[in-house]
Chains A and B, each alone.
Chain A
Amino acid sequence: DADVTQTPRNRITKTGKRIMLECSQTKGHDRMYWYRQDPGLGLRLIYYSFDVKDINKGEISDGYSVSRQAQAKFSLSLESAIPNQTALYFCATSKGDSLIETQYFGPGTRLLVL
């Protein structure tokens, strides 16, 4: 969905490096999410934000941090990357005042940590 974009789309980094993944949306949604996806597993929630500067931990937040300085942007950082953080990372957005809360996903970032 072009309304939710992620950069970079692919990234190779080395163990111990700090990296940042960016997510931008033009849907006007107030809620944003970061997930990771590993082969054969479902999506697991890392962090989520219901508004600017609101940050909440998900299932697997250790080793990650996020920043929400603007409604349209939500960035995910790996402070010191390790090989088991190799995965597909997805950003998603939803409209918070809706009872149904469908989440809309970006195209994903493929991260490889060597």
Chain B
Amino acid sequence: GESVGLHLPTLSVQEGDNSIINCAYSNSASDYFIWYKQESGKGPQFIIDIRSNMDKRQGQRVTVLLNKTVKHLSLQIAATQPGDSAVYFCAEKGGNNRLAFGKGNQVVVIP
């Protein structure tokens, strides 16, 4: 199977519960943030983004929260489903106009 999830922090969630995935970013000048989902054997897939002039943004079953004071980003998944099992990455765009990716968090949904 896909080995990208090895050695990553793992969140085990009961199906139907809410999931919260956290990310600490490093650059206080970053002005744009993205969450990606990577399923086994696939490339990262865009989930939701947020600009630094916002502190919350909602999508379908997902919410991203941004706390610039402590440089923290979180992704909340409502009513977690088996298809949500994946590795989740945050990414920040800094002054060099390039994305810097976090190492990722493995989410395992227990049926």
Choose from B43, B91, B97, B103 the contact partner of A41 (Cβ within 8 Å).
Answer: B103
Contact in complex: A100, B32 (CB < 8 Å): yes
Q: Interface range on chain B: under 10, 10 to 19, 20 to 34, or 35 or more?
A: 20 to 34
Return the chain A residue nearest B97 by Cβ: A101
- The interface bits of chain A over 92-110 (1 if a CB of B lies within 8 angstroms of the residue's CB, else 0) are 0000000111111111100
A88: interface (CB < 8 Å): yes
User: Contacts A1-B43, A104-B46 given; 16 further ones with Cβ under 8 A?
Assistant: A37-B4, A39-B6, A40-B4, A40-B7, A42-B89, A42-B102, A43-B44, A44-B101, A45-B98, A88-B4, A90-B43, A99-B32, A100-B51, A102-B46, A103-B46, A105-B36
Q: Does A74 make an interface contact (CB < 8 A)?
A: no
How many residues of A sit at the interface, in one of the four size bands? 20 to 34
Distance in angstroms from B93 CB to nearest chain A CB is: 6
B residues at A contact (CB < 8 Å): 3-4, 6-8, 32, 34, 36, 41-46, 49, 51, 89, 91, 93, 97-99, 101-104
Q: List 10 A-B contacts (CB under 8 A).
A: A42-B102, A42-B104, A43-B44, A48-B98, A102-B34, A104-B46, A105-B45, A106-B43, A107-B42, A108-B42
With both chains docked as a complex, state the minimum distance between the C-beta of A83 and any C-beta of chain B, in angstroms.
16
Contact call B44/A100, Cβ cutoff below 8 A: no
Cβ–Cβ contact A39 & B45, under 8 A: no
Closest 6 CB pairs of A and B: A40-B7, A105-B43, A42-B101, A43-B101, A39-B6, A42-B103
